[in-house]
Structures are given as C-alpha cells and as structure tokens.
Structure 1
Amino acid sequence: MWNRSNSSTAQWWRYFLQLVMANSIRALLPLILTISAVSASDQLPLNVDCGTTGSRTGFLNMTWVGDEQYVKSGQSAKVRIDDSVILPLTTLRYFPDQRKNCYSFPGVGQGTKILVRALFYYGNYDGLSSPPTFNLLLNGNHWSLVFLSGDNDSALFEAVHVTKVDDVSVCLARTKPNDVPFINSLELKKLEGDMYASMNTDRPLYLMGRYAYASPSTTVVRYPDDPYDRPWTAFTDYESSGLSPLSRSSDPNSNLADRPPAAVVRQAITPSSSLASNMTVPNAIVSPSPVPHYVTFYFVEMLANASRSFDIYLDDQKFYGETIVPNGTVLEIVGSNISLSTFSVFSLVRAKGSTLPPLISAAEFYRIGNAWGVDATDSSDVRALSEFQKSYVQLQPWSGDPCLPMGYAWEWVNCSSDSTPRVTALFLSGYGLTGPLADFINLTALRTIDLDNNSLNGSIPEFLGKLPNLKRLNLADNQFTGPLPASLTTSNSIVNLNISGNNISGNSSDFASSSEKKGNVGVIAGGTIGSILFLLLLVMLAIFIFKKRPANASAKPTSVLLQPEIKQHGFSHAEIVEITNNFEKVLGEGGSGNVYYGRLRNGSEVAVKVLKDSLSQGTREFVAEAKLLMTVHHRFLVSFVGYCEEGGNLILLYEYMSGGNLRQLLSGRSGTSAFLTWDIRLKIALRVATGLDYLHSGCYPPIIHRDVKTSNILLNAKMEAKVADFGLSKAGQKEEGADQPIVVVNPSQYSFDQRDDVTQVSTAVAGTPGYIDPEYYSTNRVTKKSDVYSFGVVLLELITGRPPMFAASGERFHIIGWVTPIIARREIHSIADPKLNGQYNVNSMWKVADVALSCTSETADARPRMIDVVNQLKKALEEETCYQQRTDTPSSEVRSSPTFYEFSSSSLSNSQLSSAR
C-alpha cells in the first residue's frame, strides 16, 4: 500500500505523481477491451474509471472503461482536481446506502494469478472535508482498511492473488454508520502462472514498494515497458545515501519467470566511492514489528569486463549462502517468507578480491497476507439468489458474495458458518416487493423465510413446502389469494407458519389440526402465537420446578466435565455450611451476593455463590441462573455443580477456578505473579468468544448473557478461561430449526424479533457500566449483539490492560473513546499494554483491534456475529503462534527451508542454492 498518511509521505507522493507522468509522450496502440464479453478473462487487463460511463483512451494510453456494468449500486461524483493530472482521479463512485457494495467481474477463471489495484482520492468531493474510513475486501476476504487523513490524501492498494473461484469481486464495506465508502479506479491485470512462483497461493501478496533503483527521477517504469503494468518507482535520494546510478548500453539477457522489464534492469545503483566496501539496500518495509514478507532482488553487471563480487546480508546474517558475481544475465534472488520490520537492514558487502563495490538494479517488497479461506458462498445458492434478485428491483443493488466475508453478509440474508457458507434465511419484511413470489427452490438450506409486509400477490407457490430444511415461513400482510398449497398442508418440517393478512381460502384451523395429527410439529398461525407461547411457558415452568426436587434423580442434568460423584444436585443449607466451613473464605463480592470457597466431601473444590437476601430480584435471578446452568454445558463455560433453595437461602455451586478473574490479572491485583502474554490473552479471548457463540447459537432457545465483562471471565491454574455468572442472562427467540418453545420468565416484559440473528428481548437494562451496549441502553431491547458489544470492550481491555473507564491526564475516558483516535492514526503501539513490553505480533494485535472496534460499533447491525469474531480471533492467534515460533528459536539453531529462498536466472538453477536465514 502507498498511503500519504505514513512517515514516507513526501517520498510516496512523489512516486504517485511519477505514475502520472510515466511514458506520457509515447504513442501506443490502446488495449482494446470487449466490454460486452461474457467473461472478464477476455477483458484483462481491465482498467475501470469509477463514476464514468463508456470507454476512452486515457492515462498511459490505455483503454479506461466506465464502471456501470460492474457495479449495481452507488452514485457518481466529480473530484475537485485538475483534469490534467490523472484521468481516473477526476471522478469517483460513492456508496451511501448498503453496508457492503461490490464490483463483480465474472469468468476470470479459477486458479488465475491476478494483480488487483485500487486507487482512492477523496478530493473533498462532498464538500464536507471529512474523508471516510472503510474496509476494502477482495473475493470474500478482508484486504485492508482504507484510511485517509485529509482532503488531498490518497491511497493506492495493490495485491497479487490466485483466485479460487471463477469470479472476482472487490467490495467496499463501511465500518462506521456515517462514513460513506468511495473509489476512484480499479484495475485487474492477468499475470502469468509462473510469475511469483514461490508465493503461497492461499496467501495474497500486498505491495509495499517496487524499486527501479536507477531510473531517472522523472520516470516511473510502467506500461508499456512492463506489459503487466507494474509501477517501478525510482530511488532519488542518491546524495544523502552515498550512492550513484550506473547504466549499460544494451539490454541484459533474461528469461526470468518474473519478467522484470528491460528498462528496469539495464540500470543500477552502486556506492559513489569505488573504495566502498558495502552498501545498504533501500527498502519499502514499514511494519513496526517483524511480519512475513516476500522480497525479490535483481542484479546485473553494468560494466564490461568488470571484476565485481559481493554477499547479501539481512541484518548480521547472510541472506543468501553464495557470493554473487553479476554478469550480463539478470540474476534474481527471492525470499518467499522472510520476517521483516522497518528496522530490518539488507546490505551488500564487497567480497574478497572484488575490484568494484556492490550494485543492485531493482527490488520488489510485498507483505504476505493472512491465509484466505474459501472465496465464495455455495455456487448453487449464489445462482439462485441472482435469479431471485432479477424479479425485484429493490434487491438488485446488492452484489458480490452474499455471505462473505463473515460479518459482511447482505442485510437481508443470513448464512451458515460452514467452510463453504450456505444461505439459511431471507429477511425481506417491508422491502416493498410486488408481483408474484419468484421461485428460489434451489436455496435448499433455507430455514427461515420472512416476507411479511410486502405487496406480493397471486397464489402461494407450491415450492415453499418442498424446501427440505424450512422451519419458519412468514407470509403475513401480503396480497396472496387462493388456497394454501398442498405442499404446505402436508409439510412435516415447518413449525412456524404465519399467513395472516392475506386472502387465503380454506380453514386454517383444519390445516393446523391435520398437522397436529401427524404428531410431528405444531403450526402456529397469526394471532394464536401469544396464547400458545403462554401455555408452553406454563409447561416449561412446571417442568423446571419438578426438576429442582432432589428426590427425583432422573431429572438431574449431567455434566461431562465433572466427576460423577459431584454431578449437579440439590444441597441442604446444612451441607452448604459444611462445604464452606461456615463461609470461612470469601472469594469475591458482587452486587448479587458473595462467593465463598468450598470443598465437597470427596475433596473437589467449588465456588459457592450466596445471593443477598435484600436483593429484590434475587429469586428471579436465581431461578434464571439455576435453570440455565442445569441445561448448558460447554468446556468454555463455568460448570454448574448444584444449588440450594432452603429457608429463604438462594445458593449456587460452581466449579472452582483457582486463577481468579481476568480483571484482577490485567490490573495486577490477582495476588499472584502470573503474567498474561499476548499469546495467552488471545487464547483467553478465543475461549470466551467460543463460549458466547455457544450461548448464542448452540442453545435452544439462544441465551443472551447481558453481563459480559472481565470480572466474569474466570481462569484456572493453567490460565484457561471460562465464562461465568449467568444471573443476568436471558433466554431469547429460539433459533432456526429449534422445536421447543420460547422460554421467558415473564411474558409481559418481553417481545421477540423473528430474525434469528437479532434474537432480541425487551427488558429493563441490566449489566455493568462501561460494558453496556448503547443501543440496548437507549431502547431497552437486548440482543445477541449486546453481548458482542460488551465482548468488544473486553478485547480492548486485553489489548490495553486498562479498565473500561479510567482517568488519565486529569480527564475521564471510556476505553472506546480513548483508543479510537489512536488507532485511526495507526499507532497500535501507543495503546498496547506496556506490560507486554512490545512482545507481540503487530498484525495479530491489529486484527484484534479491528475486531474490537467492529464489535463496539454504535449500531447493532454494524457489529459482527460472535461466530465471525471467533473466526477472526483464530486467525490472530495463528499469526501470533507463527511469530512466537520464529522469535523463540535460538539464533544458533535458526534454519530456513530451502523452499523459502530461490536463486534463479537464465543461467543458474535453484539447485545451487544453500539454506540461508
């Protein structure tokens, strides 16, 4: 990425302007693109001038085309810039509506190696002098955060990527509700399959810089000198670096697979003094801590009959094991997985017997991205959705992958978290759809369809009853007529059908009766929902009361995590006194009561929570927690041992976690010398997120914790975390496919949203200040995303070590308000917990920071699901683990696989390469 906001602002801006002037006087035949072609592979290279229409010859005498055929949303605008500067900068397309907007290029071809370049120049096109921040996505994966610091700031992103599916999509996704993404130009270039052959095809390469070291300062080598239009920028700081340019009269010999242009390798830089013994190689590494990079160096002799030889070093270790003796054939050295930071130094050291100092012609520097998963949702689902969209103009603006990346699914679909996602729900309530209902029978994974409050007419289609996994169908308040189709009257799978507000003939009560006779499901229609839920509630409460009787051993839930002799059961108050040694040792004090240390007769340790007698809601919270914990079992949730309800005493017993709570450990008040490394913090975060995802998605009905905070995250002696304290938890709307009823403590206090990813409950605000979702606070409606918000605060605590609210420099801060501007300035080290002492992988830290800010978005819709958070944390942990493996290896034992380094030219083979660091 080239971004004017980094420390090399002036230098990179000069390079950008050089791109404008490159080869401007050459007369070239334009590249002819067949715009109406059925596949993008026939169009590559493709240069898209965003915000325009038609096609014309423009910058670099290349054909530039408008973007109207590649994107279905957004609006065009002109940028306040001189037209003579560069054509693609003068217009842009901005996207004020959907959260994710995509450019789609079909038929590029699976396994194609492509170069993708995106350019952003704000130019105060909207007159607001407020450049937005947003995410750039490529083929269902996160590419980069686009951050511009001022009206005239620009950013250029370039990636080399091997496609895993036929189509390519580039998407812009908002990260804040009021920030409107935009783009000026988008370029796709097809590379040869043998180019950059050492790259991991599962990981993209992000360009950091590409040098033609001795090119004239006014020239950037681009198309047509480079047929693949890779910009090679000049290095101009000769005088301050003690270097001088050299050139040769003829082009060198080369048949390298990476195809460096002759204009790049017929020149070189070398120390100005012929007596110099070494030179530092200018590089484009900007990472403050070591991360994986892909680097390529090109060497060729500039002088006839020269006697020149040298070695290449990275810091104080040889980078390549053999001495380099350049000649008239281009030599290439590739490091395909090198850990580099801005402090890394490449140097060329004159070899013994060499009469001339070292030289170098060119270099490429790429940062290696994270491993990308699948590039697309299930293809049959994508085709079915595409056909469905064609029938309704309201749905056509959505493009790109409907499910990926995780957290950026289309607003009206819900998707599974499988390796190849499936579309599991359509939420199209109130979308203004008219006409007959279009066929989408090929969306076979659908479990929920919500089409109420539209103007759909005609008969209800037969195919709806043939969807094999459909559980909920809401067709209320449309204009459907005629009888209910036979497929729905005979369906054994649908447990919730709402056809109220239509002109449906026939007796709906007969339909319900006939379904009940099948003994499989109950069909709930329209106004009957409330009464049936109330009856189900009474049944569930009766079952719960019956289960609490200790005499009935068969009603006791079991836990696979505890020994059989301490499985859940009721305790008498006398037993509790014995277990706690008359409440001798207090483990903690909370708003709902104290927690004491206990030991069962078999020696097993437990934590005993005694609810306060004065707590007006104590009984209600006790009932909620006991009921939930008797049925909820997960290895990342604190296990429930038993309970006591005797003589007004409300007591719960949990497994004992000897490591204390996370807040104590982060603050240093745990009374132990335990130190939480970044690796341990990531594992804690992943465990907690997985536990919360189980509550949200693995429980039926789903459970909203409502009090996620670091003091409710407990650790054992091995620093393994579990989520505790369900006293404030609420059971919400049952998930797709769940046949049991909604469980509610007091039906008059709750209302439910039928969207499974919302699962919201209306209730008085509960929780801990600093962690409470602002949307929950303002609406009294708690959702799964309320837990996501609180967990985002926990992530920020893990990064910074600070509590949610703290004082600094005489001011009072909330942690979100404190970190946001610092992160926007890309100063991650300024917020990292000083106790970490810089010992972390910066990419891993950035990923967690991005996840935390996404979780704490002001609106619930902008936050990811907990399963998406889990997936991102896994990637962050993977990066940190790789970093630790590299840094923990003793220097005397450092070895690199020969496949990491390659030496190739038209005359030398890779087999000559020895291993090097």
Structure 2
Amino acid sequence: MTVWKFAISAVAVAFSFAAIVQVRGQPSTEGFISIDCGTPDGYNHTDNTNIQYVSDDQYIDSGVNKRIAQNYINSSIPIQDVTARSFPSGSRNCYTLKPVTANQKYLLRATFMYGNYDGQQSVNPNTSILFDLYIGVDLWKTVNISDASAEYRVEAITLALADFISVCLINTGSGTPFISALELRPIKLAMYPAAMANQSIVLYLRRTYKPSSNQIFRFPDDPYDRIWASYTEIPSDWTTISTNAPIQYYADDHFNAPSTVLQTAVTPIRSTTMTFLRLDKGSGPIAPQYHVVFYFTELQLLNSNAVREFSIYLDGSDRWGDSFRLLYLMSYYFCSTDPLTVDYAFSLNATANSTLPPLINALEVYTLMYLSNPATDVSDGASRICSFRNHDCPDAIMAVKAQYQVKRNWMGDPCNPTEYAWDGLNCSYTASPSRITSVNLSSSRLAGQISDFFSKLQAIESMDLSNNNLTGGIPYSLASISSLQVFGDSSGLPWLPENEQRKNVTEVAVKVCHQISSQGTKQLHAEAESLTHVFHKNLVSLVGYCMDGDKLGLVYEYVPQGSLHDHLRGTSGVFRALNWGERLRIALEAAQ
C-alpha cells in the first residue's frame, strides 16, 4: 500500500514554525456549480452557506419539475430538497455540467429526497425506488430510496477529461428516477491521489467526532464544500477532547480538513489502543476497494514530560512501521492510495515512548470506481450542453441536436453504454474511442439549411435526411468526406429533382467555350471527335459535345474530388488536400 503521511518527529520541532504554517484565506465559490433541481428557468437563491443555487433548466432538456408534499417540508431540510426533477420518460436522462476545466479534479455530489413528490406513496415500508446514477458512461452508484422523509447523498471525486462532466439517471425498472440537487466543486489536483484519469473514488464514509451534536459542517468552514457529519455513537470507553483554538496547517497539507472538524478528537480512556474503523468486503459479487484518509491534531498543550505518539495498525500489524508525534494544534493526515480489498480493522496503538493514548479527529473512506467504458470520440460527442436557448455547441452531434431541436433521447454520450446509444445513430466500436458512422434523421421535422456540423463527424458513412423540410444545398465541408452517402427525397432534400428520383443516373460535368474563331471551331470539333474514342483508366471519359455557332460545350465524366489540374492550381472549390501517398500514386499513374 502506498501512503501519503504528514508526521513529524521531535527533531522537526527545531524548524521555523512560521515557515511551515499555512495561512488560509477566505474561501471562494469560484468554479462552483450549484443546481436546485426541479425549479423553473431563471430561478436562483442563496442558502445559509452563502452559495447561490440556480435552476437546472439550463443543464438538461428533459424531465418534469416537481415539489415534495407539504407535510415533508420543515425548517430542518435544505431548501434544495423542496423541489425535484422527475424523469418518467426515457431510459437515460443526463445533465451536462459546464463550464469545467479538463484535467481538473472535482467533488461531485447528487442529493435525493422523495417526500412523496408524485403523490403516489411510491416509497413506503414495503417498496423502495431504485435507479442507477452514472458519471459519463460509467456506473457511479445504484440509488436506493427506502425512506420518503430521508435525504440521500451520493458523492465522488473525479478528474474531468474534457470541458464538461455528464451525470445520467438510468431507469432500471424499479421506480421513476428523480433528483433534488446536483453540485460540482473544484478541488486541488494534489488532493485524493487515488482519483485519476482511469478511476474515480466514491464517498463511503466521512466522519467527525461530535458526541452531542448532529451538526453538519461544510462551506464556508470547508473551502471545498465537503459535508462532514457528526458521529455521535462514541463508545463508552472513549472520551472526547475539544478546543476552540484555530487549527494550523502545513503549507503542503493538501487536504485542509476544516478547523471546526479538527477541534474535537476522541481517545481511549483506559487503554493504549483504539480500533476506530472496520471495513468489510460487502455482500456483492465484487468486493469493494477502499481508500482511506485519517486526520490527527493534538488539542491539548502537553507538559514537557507528556508524550503522545502512536502508530496505525492494520489487522493487528504495524504495517507501515512509522509513528505520529503531533505538534499542538497542527493538522496531520494519513492517506492510502493503493486499494484495500478484504476485511480490515484499523487501530491506533501507542508506542513504547508514549505516555498518552492515541487520538483521532476525523476520517474519510472512499471506494474505487474504475472508468472502464470508453466514451465517444470527443469531436463526435457531446462536450457541451446544447439547449434550445443556447447554440454555442462546437461538438458535432450535440450541435446538430441544438440546431434542429431534435426531440429524441439525445443526451449523455452518443454511443456509450451501447444499450443507451442515441436513437438514429450507428456507431463503430472496433477502436477506442467509438465513432459515429451513420445518422438517420428521416421524418424528424428538420427545417432550414443542412448543418455544417455534420462534416465534423469524420467517420460518418451515411446520412438519411429524407422527409424533412430542408433548404439549400449540401455544404462544401460535407463534400470532403469521400465515403459519405446522403439519402433523401424530393420533399426533404431540395437539391434533388423536384418530380421523381431517377435511377442509374450518371453525374457529368459540362464546360462551355465561347467566341471561338471559325478555324478554331473546326480544330476543336476535330479534337472533340477524336477524344470521344479515347479511353484510358487515368483520363476522364468524354461523354459527348455540342457545337452551337461560336460556342462549344464539352460533356465529360464528373470528378467529385476535382481533377489533377484543380489540385495543382488550387482551384476554388477543391477542399481536400492530397496526402503524399495520393501524390505518389498520381505520379505513377500519369506515367503509364
């Protein structure tokens, strides 16, 4: 197991105290996304933490706004719990949280309170509501709502891989999914090293020891808005130590547990050891993998003869072979990065030099969440929320959704998980990331011009836009995708014939020469006549010609990507540059 630990020996006391103490400034809400779900568009309020919450209308295009029953509303519940957004339709409904910064770590929290919002008593002693919660394309948690009056929270630490984070509620057939609040908080990259690009960590337990209080500690006490619950079930052979003095922090203490959390500790009364945490392997088919963070602060000003020194034991063994000797009012932490996968018992054991028993102030436990499912290629996918009110959407398929206001299950990742892939899309899964290969938007009431964003789907092979009301021609950018086939009909695609679709059509090009001299006309006539009999695989074939006075029209095979002359001269309208392999092939064929 890899461990990050802040411990200090007696020698370290000689170091300059001012040089190692961190001065904490006022906390900021910059980068916070705080959503009160189920509230109307434009709604906002500031709660008792001084955090402003806004409507979820700008983050999602589906769902129904609801309000919990009046008999569940009281002064003890957060105002965010009064409303909820319910999702009676669709198997997957997703929020897209923006703006976020790629490669930044975030605390992500979802809150649920049923409160009989649907008037159906769907949660009762005999019935629970269960649904899945996803971060992007990976399962975050199965939410189990078994108490109508309880608030349920699900929290994770995750690394943003793009400029968005998607949170999806999945209907698994055991009740209608709903959500009361959704919160995103930026944290320092050095915090929680187990959270990285290929895995997130999910909160299992966060505890502070306040024996006579059910108080919750969060922002502004905690600058990262972690929610610390008081643990009141203190064993009878433990006692508490408290102080009102502010806690100090080392400059490289990345975790910064709030002072209010660390101002109370527990310690055994008549023992030199204390078992303070047991983790089990659970009842599921896969044993959870745990990560732990323990916090220690000396709260008593000890006399010169007193020593509090202890080690962390795992299943009765001094696994790490090091000890903590704390300085007065200085914060220390212990953090594991390698996962624990079987039953474990953590205890603190006083060393032989110690005259006082060990203590602990707070702890966190997380389970590992592997990010094993590949997302759709970012250029194809949905890295921005594209609502009908905001078309600022640079990623292809979501931009198409916004432009045409597509009324389908288009939310979350377009291709993954495969069982929730978007209607009308086919994807290729032969490589990672997956790519969109076809789009079927037939009979979708599309209007306006053909979107340039279709050309951003660089792996697309076919597109069906029939039975719509589109105007204009195919954008030039689409012509650069040589493998693309566009299907449509006369009513939906205006560049096709107005009457009926013809079969076995050969596309041709026509070049007209004007004001040809009499002698030149005879010469061109002879050359055109001879060209109709010339056939070569590397030459376009002349279909025919037409002479009309001093005008000559040549009808020849259409070259959709332009001729060699066009590419050499950079003729306007030729948009695809030749790669070196194509240039070599052309040179060889020209010599044949």
Shared fold by TM > 0.5? yes
Where do 1:623-642 residues align within 5 Å?
none
1:450 aligns with 2:464: yes
Where do 1:313-712 residues align within 5 Å?
313-328=313-328, 329-341=330-342, 343-372=343-372, 374=374, 377-379=377-379, 382=382, 383-395=395-407, 398-417=410-429, 418-439=431-452, 440-452=454-466, 454-458=467-471, 461=474, 466-470=480-484, 473-476=486-489, 478-481=491-494, 483=496, 503-504=498-499, 507-511=502-506
The answer to whether the 8 A contact 2:379-2:457 is kept is no
Partner of 2:144: 147
Partner of 2:46: 57
Deviations for 1:238-265, whole angstroms, at most 9, x for unmatched residues? 2x45211111352333221111111122
Q: CA RMSD in A?
A: 3.1
Instruction: Output the CA distance in 1 between the equivalents of 2:462 and 2:413.
Output: 20
1:82 aligns with 2:73: yes
The answer to whether the 8 A contact 1:392-1:434 is kept is yes
**3-state secondary structure, aligned to 1:355:** coil
Q: Which residue identity is paired with 1:193?
A: L
**3-state secondary structure, aligned to 1:385:** helix
**3-state secondary structure, aligned to 2:505:** helix
**3-state secondary structure, aligned to 2:397:** helix
Q: Which residue identity is paired with 2:334?
A: I
1:266 aligns with 2:268: no
**Structure of greater relative contact order (alpha carbons < 8 Å, 6+ residues apart):** 2
Partner of 1:277: 272
Deviations for 1:79-120, whole angstroms, at most 9, x for unmatched residues? 122152221111111223333222122331111110000011
**3-state secondary structure, aligned to 1:386:** helix
1:287 aligns with 2:282: yes
The answer to whether the 8 A contact 1:280-1:348 is kept is yes
1:190 aligns with 2:181: no
Q: Aligned pair in 2 of structure 1 residues 137, 518: CA closer, same or farther (>3 Å)? A: farther
Q: Report how far residue 206 of structure 1 moved.
A: 0.5
Q: Report how far residue 455 of structure 1 moved.
A: 3.0
1:221 aligns with 2:212: no
Instruction: Output the CA distance in 2 between the equivalents of 1:137 and 1:404.
Output: 11
| Match among 118, 121, 124 for residue 129 of structure 1 | 121
Partner of 2:57: 68
Q: Report how far residue 476 of structure 1 moved.
A: 4.6
Instruction: Output the CA distance in 2 between the equivalents of 1:260 and 1:423.
Output: 45
Deviations for 1:237-294, whole angstroms, at most 9, x for unmatched residues? 12x45211111352333221111111122221011x2x31311114576734753211
Q: Normalized against structure 1, the TM-score is what?
A: 0.46
**3-state secondary structure, aligned to 2:399:** helix
Q: Which residue identity is paired with 2:35?
A: V
Instruction: Output the CA distance in 2 between the equivalents of 1:90 and 1:31.
Output: 26
Deviations for 1:720-744, whole angstroms, at most 9, x for unmatched residues? xxxxxxxxxxxxxxxxxxxxxxxxx
Instruction: Output the CA distance in 1 between the equivalents of 2:480 and 2:361.
Output: 66
Q: Report how far residue 320 of structure 1 moved.
A: 2.5
Instruction: Output the CA distance in 2 between the equivalents of 1:263 and 1:370.
Output: 33
**3-state secondary structure, aligned to 1:115:** strand
Q: Which residue identity is paired with 1:423?
A: I
**3-state secondary structure, aligned to 1:101:** strand
Q: Report how far residue 174 of structure 1 moved.
A: 2.2
Q: Aligned pair in 2 of structure 1 residues 346, 367: CA closer, same or farther (>3 Å)? A: same
1:99 aligns with 2:91: yes
1:45 aligns with 2:58: no
Structure 2 residue ranges without an equivalent (≥5): 1-25, 123-127, 383-394, 510-534, 538-592
The answer to whether the 8 A contact 1:129-1:150 is kept is no
**3-state secondary structure, aligned to 1:411:** coil
**3-state secondary structure, aligned to 1:175:** strand
**3-state secondary structure, aligned to 2:455:** coil
The answer to whether the 8 A contact 1:390-1:396 is kept is no
Partner of 1:787: none
Identity, % of aligned positions: 30
Structure 1 residue ranges without an equivalent (≥5): 1-28, 33-42, 485-502, 520-917
The answer to whether the 8 A contact 1:376-1:420 is kept is yes
The answer to whether the 8 A contact 1:47-1:63 is kept is yes
Q: Aligned pair in 2 of structure 1 residues 59, 76: CA closer, same or farther (>3 Å)? A: farther
Q: Which residue identity is paired with 1:508?
A: K
1:248 aligns with 2:243: yes
> Larger radius of gyration, structure 1 or 2?
2
Q: Which residue identity is paired with 2:176?
A: V
Instruction: Output the CA distance in 2 between the equivalents of 1:462 and 1:225.
Output: 55
